[in-house]
Amino acid sequence: MRLKDKVALITGGGQGIGRLTALTFAREGARVAVADINMAAAQAVAAEIEQRDGQAKAVSLDVSRSESVEAALQAVTNWAGGVDVLVNNAGITRDARMQKMTEEQFDAVISVNLRGVWLCAKACVPIMIARGGGVILNAASVVGLYGNFGQTNYVAAKSGVIGMTKTWARELGPSGIRVNAVAPGFTETDMISTVPEKVLESVRERTPLRRLGKPEDIANAYLFLASDEASFITGHVLSVDGGLLF
């Protein structure tokens, strides 16, 4: 029960890594706000947690809109009194070569994957300070560390997330708030469903552990960083990629 009595807000909690993170946190004693733009998906995950005797609330959230973020935080605060752990997990892809990428594709990814992380953290920080501290965990990516073909927008956003993580660790540490990022490798979620199998096979061959990541691999990394076991870790980017990049 490493998160007993903690309140966790997980964005993009309705599927993939977010869903596994919500289930894992609830199993470890947290009250989990499952936030997603897809309310039906969020409700399904919250119901799954409650069926396992956990505590959860589904929250509608579009991380790219400040008014939606504020409304979601108000709903969570009314339900649980505040937020102790924020997992900025929500993200999208709109892949294309740089020359063919449209402004709409670029702006959509930056709006969700970068601006959305900032908006959610900005809204949660005053609540965490009032509660004596907290934890912010940001979803980065190994491609934010080495780049990736056809993902100018995604790489720019994830590189920016890494920079924000390090900046916030310095700014918020004196207030008792730890800020870290997790950089997953290629992970078996819907997000990579459009990646050709020959590309995925190449990734497996280049990965020392010879497999893709599973959502629970990332969820367990979030769990460790959210827990008191990581109480002296901040400003860190934890790569969970099977050794793909080191």
Phi, psi of 113 (to 5 degrees): -80, -20
Distance of CA 135 to the CA centre of its chain: 12
Contacts of 113 (CB under 8 A, 6+ apart): 90, 91, 92, 154, 157, 158, 161
Active-site residue (options: 25, 106, 118, 154)? 154
**Of residues 82, 89, 97, 104, the one with CA closest to residue 6:** 82
Label residues 92-116 b or e (16+ Cβ within 10 Å = b): bbbbeeeeebeeebbebbbbbbbbb
Give me the residues paired with residue 239 across strands. Answer: 183
**Two tokens at 83?**
């937020």
**Of residues 93, 97, 211, 245, the one with CA closest to residue 158:** 93
Helix/strand/coil percent split, the chain, to 5: 50, 15, 30
Contacts of 107 (CB under 8 A, 6+ apart): none
Residue 175 · residue 129 · CB < 8 Å? yes
Q: Has 146 been annotated as catalytic?
A: no
- Report the catalytic residues: 154
